[in-house]
């Protein structure tokens, strides 16, 4: 057992955990934040994507003890304190970029990262950047539409 | 899926890592974890002690030493893609890293971890073989440097002893014309066939240096040395190239699995070698 301190969405979570605890289990079961999903559990599907020090990673492929003292952002960080949807969430809602919604939190975190990292991405580039996220309902057209729209909203807001 | 119960220790220096490793015969090193985590979860590997080498600063360095670049074992795929030194001195390695897995894995996965996993269809190894890379292994008893060709033993097997840590990869600067091809069913998958090649030509078209390696065609990635020597020192015609490729491919023994039958893998290898070596040797689009 090891005591870890992990900052999630700006709040510190501390717990005495088994060393083999996966980060995704720490987020869901210890911090009780259930927006991050476990999809394939083999590192392929990206449903468990969170940002670790601002970079997307798959939280089912990391032990919580490995990120002791680090900062994580999960999908719960997107919504404003007033309950307003973020631009990524708005774009996904408007384009109906989800069917069952299981993969959505992973795609939202990728979108959150991509629109800040790159000022512009072509549809082809967006698809390339989203290789690590699967939508088993195969709603990819709408997801690409939503990422492009989110990027536009982000750029408009900045200028 | 949980790994089997294990103890995790974080090493801040190499000496600390060696001392943790010596405590337990069953210990394994974890770098970025993108190879070992899936194995732990599938319980293909179940070490009782995991030694994390991520905090060791020297393992994160990329530095020039004479005509060689030394890349620390903990350098991530993303850092290789972003490194200016690597871009200008070994562009081929950067191109290779761009096609590894996906954005999330490239943020965590490391050069040293990928090499030590020794998947026969891994992305880096064909490239590193043609670059004549060497690896440095350190232990409490000292250090040794071996060529990557000798380090790779078989599928998921490398020449590393208990207590040793792969600390860096040494790569001679190389700006020759190159080709790196990964053929996979889906972009983020492991290769069904892959190749890496470098070609140097004299002004009259004579091939002065050609190095070719293939991945996913045997129990480990292979340099095609017979093909190389057949095409060196001559001005090869298309026919020479095709014959040399067919002979080399004939000798390969890829696995037969759900990702591709052995015959299919050989066919793809033959086609990508002919097309891409053709472009390097004859120039232009001779596909």
Q: Which of B56, B103, B114, B189 to mutate to test the interface with A (most CBs of A within 10 A)?
A: B103
Residue at B48 is within a domain:
yes
Structurally, how many domains does chain B consist of? 3
CATH of the domain at B246: 3.30.390.50
Query: Based on C-alpha coordinates, what's the Rg of chain A?
Result: 16
Q: Write down which residue in B123, B147, B172 finishes a domain.
A: B172
Tell me if B106 sits within 8 A of B78, measured CB to CB.
yes
Is the Cβ of A55 closer than 8 Å to some Cβ of chain B?
A: yes
Conformational region of residue B14, where left means phi above 0, alpha means psi within -120 to 50, and beta covers everything else: alpha
What range does the domain containing A104 cover?
Answer: 87-158
| CA atoms of A158 and B260, how far apart (whole Å) | 48
Q: Which residues does chain A have within 8 Å of residue B38's beta carbon, measured at their own beta carbons?
A: 42-43, 61
**Residue B287 counted as domain residue:** no
Given pLDDT bands bounded at 50, 70 and 90, which one contains residue A96?
Answer: very high
Size of interface A-B (CB pairs under 8 A): 82
Answer yes or no: do A61 and B103 touch at CB < 8 A: no
Q: What is the Cα–Cα distance from B92 to B60, expressed in whole angstroms?
A: 20
Distance CA A104, CA A110 (A): 10
Structural domain includes residue B1: no
**Furthest C-alpha separation in chain A:** 49
Segments forming the whole domain that contains residue B158: 57-172
- The count of other CB atoms within 10 Å of the CB of residue A15 is 16
- Per-residue pLDDT of chain B in tens (287 residues, 90 and over written 9): 789 999 999 999 999 999 999 999 999 999 999 999 999 999 999 999 999 999 999 999 999 999 999 999 999 999 999 999 999 999 999 999 999 999 999 999 999 999 999 999 999 999 999 999 999 999 999 999 999 999 999 999 999 999 999 999 999 999 999 999 999 887 667 899 999 999 999 999 999 999 999 999 999 999 999 999 999 999 999 999 999 999 999 999 999 988 899 999 999 999 999 999 999 999 864 44
Do A58 and B103 count as a contact with CB atoms less than 8 A apart?
A: no
Considering the domain architecture, whether residues B164 and B191 belong to the same structural domain is answered as: no
Concatenated DSSP letters of chain B: -PPPS-EEEE-SSHHHHHHHHHH-TT-EEESS-TTHHHHHHTTS---SEEEE-TT-GGGG-EEEETTEEEEETT-BHHHHHH-HHHHHH-HHHHHHHHTSS-HHHHHH-BHHHHHHH--TT-SHHHHHHHTT-EEEEEETTEEEEEEHHHHEEETTEES--TT-EEEEEEEE---SEEEEEEE-SSTTSPPSEEEEEEEEE-TTS-EEEEEEEEESSSSS-EE-HHHHHHHTTS---HHHHHHHHHHHHHT-----BTTB-HHHHHHHHHHHHHHHHHHHHH-S---
Shared domain check, A109 and A62: no
The minimum CA-CA distance between B95 and chain A, rounded to whole Å, is 15
User: What ipTM did this prediction achieve?
Assistant: 0.96
**Partner residue opposite A131 with nearest CB, options B40, B54, B187:** B187
Interface of B with A (CB under 8 A): 1-8, 10, 30, 33-34, 37-38, 40-42, 50, 52, 54, 78, 101-105, 107-108, 186-188
- Answer positive or negative: Cα dihedral of B78, B132, B114, B65: negative
The verdict on a CB contact (< 8 Å) between A58 and B50 is: no
Question: For residue A82, is it within any domain?
Answer: no
Whether the CB of A20 is below 8 Å from some CB of chain B: the reply is yes
**pLDDT tens digit string along A39-95?**
998 999 999 999 999 999 999 999 999 999 999 999 999 999 899 999 999 999 999
For residue A40, give the CATH number of its domain: 3.10.20.30
The enclosing H or E element of A50 equals strand A49-52
* Domain stop point among A27, A54, A77: A77
Q: Is residue B14 part of a domain?
A: yes
pLDDT computed for residue B189 by the predictor: 77
Same domain flag for B156 and B218: no
**In the predicted structure, residue A139 carries a pLDDT above the cut 90:** no
Average of per-residue pLDDT across A112-135: 96
Whether residues A9 and A40 share a domain: the answer is yes
C-alpha separations of B168 from A49, B43, B115, B125 in Å: 29, 28, 11, 14
Name the phi and psi angles at B78, rounded to 5.
-60, -40
Q: Residue B34: which CATH number?
A: 3.30.43.10
Shortest distance, CA A8 to any CA of chain B (angstroms): 18
* Structure tokens belonging to residue A24: 């995704």
* Residue A38 covered by a domain: yes
Nearest to A105 by CA among A125, A78, A87: A78
Q: What is the DSSP letter of A28?
A: I
The verdict on B163 and B211 lying in the same domain is no
Average of per-residue pLDDT across A133-150: 95
The CATH number for A109's domain is 1.10.150.120
Identify the pLDDT of residue B272: 97
Both B47 and B62 in one domain: the answer is: no
Angle at CA of residue B163, ends B221 and A61, nearest 5°: 60
Angle in degrees, 0-180, between the axes of helices A104-117 and A87-94, rounded to the nearest 10 = 120
Nearest CB among B30, B41, B104 relative to A132 is that of B104
Q: Are residues B19 and B62 in the same domain?
A: no
CA distance A59 to A43: 9
Within 93-112 of A, beta carbons closer than 8 Å to B belong to 110
Q: For residue B37, what is the nearest residue in chain A, using CA coordinates?
A: A61
């Amino acid at each position: 057992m090891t005591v870890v301190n992990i900052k999630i969405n700006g709040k510190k979570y501390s717990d005495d955990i088994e060393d083999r605890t996966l980060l995704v289990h720490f987020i869901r079961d210890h911090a009780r934040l259930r927006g991050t999903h476990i999809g394939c559990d083999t590192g392929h599907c990206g449903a468990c994507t969170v940002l670790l020090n601002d970079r997307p990673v798959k939280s089912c492929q990391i032990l919580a003890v490995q990120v002791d003292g680090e900062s994580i952002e999960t999908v719960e960080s997107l919504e404003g304190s007033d309950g307003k949807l973020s631009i990524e969430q708005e774009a996904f809602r408007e384009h109906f970029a989800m069917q069952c919604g299981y993969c959505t939190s992973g795609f939202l975190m990728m979108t959150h990262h991509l629109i800040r990292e790159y000022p512009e991405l072509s549809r082809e580039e967006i698809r390339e950047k989203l290789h690590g996220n699967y939508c088993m309902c195969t709603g990819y057209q709408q997801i690409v539409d939503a990422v492009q729209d989110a990027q536009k909203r982000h750029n408009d807001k900045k200028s | 899926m949980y790994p089997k119960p294990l103890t995790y220790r974080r090493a801040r220096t190499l000496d600390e890592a060696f001392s943790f490793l010596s405590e337990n015969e069953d210990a394994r090193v974890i770098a970025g974890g993108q190879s070992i985590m899936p194995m732990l979860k599938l319980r293909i590997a179940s070490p009782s002690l995991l030694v994390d080498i991520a905090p060791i600063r020297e393992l994160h360095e990329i530095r020039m030493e004479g005509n060689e670049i030394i890349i620390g074992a903990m350098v991530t795929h993303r850092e290789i893609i972003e490194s200016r030194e690597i871009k200008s001195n070994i562009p081929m390695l950067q191109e290779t890293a761009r096609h590894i897995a996906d954005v999330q894995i490239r943020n965590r996965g490391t050069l040293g971890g990928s090499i030590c996993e020794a998947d026969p269809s891994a992305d880096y190894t064909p490239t590193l073989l043609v670059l004549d890379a060497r690896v440095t292994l350190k232990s409490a008893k000292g250090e040794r440097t071996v060529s990557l060709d000798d380090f790779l033993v078989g599928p998921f097997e490398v020449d590393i002893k208990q207590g040793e840590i792969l600390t860096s990869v040494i790569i001679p600067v190389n700006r020759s014309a190159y080709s790196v091809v990964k053929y996979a069913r889906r972009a983020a998958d492991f290769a069904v066939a892959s190749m890496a090649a470098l070609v140097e030509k004299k002004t009259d078209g004579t091939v002065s240096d050609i190095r070719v390696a293939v991945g996913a065609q045997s129990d480990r990635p292979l340099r095609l040395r017979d093909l190389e020597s057949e095409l060196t020192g001559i001005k090869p015609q298309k026919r020479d190239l095709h014959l040399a490729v067919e002979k080399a491919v004939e000798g390969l023994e890829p696995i037969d699995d759900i990702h591709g039958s052995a015959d299919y893998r050989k066919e793809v290898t033959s086609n990508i070698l002919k097309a891409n070596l053709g472009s390097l040797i004859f120039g232009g689009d001779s596909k």
